[in-house]
Amino acid sequence: MGVGLEAGLTIDEMADELGALVDRAGMASLPGDVEELSEALAGLGERLLVMRPFIPDKKTALPGNWKIILRQWISGTDVLEMSVPRFQKPDRGNTCCWDRSRTE
């Protein structure tokens, strides 16, 4: 199953830009360059998370500070110490997940 015609065409139009961001992220991950990696991944998110089927639904919408959370996660910050308004403790590992409907 694909992403759909409209999203596929849009991604195809952005292929060079997206590819450059993926390359940037890959190169930054090797030496552990948190700043460069988080910027590259945020760039991917800014481009992809605005089109269907990648737009989060309202229940699981990304918080406004998602780029800060992404950087914290990449840098190894404990998920319970991140700047997430209402955090849902992950079942395993250092998975960055939140549930805005919870009050814990």
The pair of three-digit structure tokens given for residue 82, joined into one six-digit string = 């991140």
DSSP 3-state percent helix, strand, coil across the chain (nearest 5): 55, 0, 45
| pLDDT over 70 (residue 57) | yes
Going from N- to C-terminal start, the domains of the chain cover 5-55
Mean pLDDT computed over every residue of the chain: 79
User: In 3D, which of 58, 54, 36, 53 has the Cα closest to residue 45?
Assistant: 54
**Helix or strand or coil: residue 50?**
coil
Residue pair 84/58 in contact (Cβ under 8 Å)? The answer is no
Model pTM score: 0.71
Per-residue pLDDT tens over the stretch 33-49: 999 999 999 999 999 88
Residue pair 89/103 in contact (Cβ under 8 Å)? The answer is no
The pair of three-digit structure tokens given for residue 80, joined into one six-digit string = 């319970």
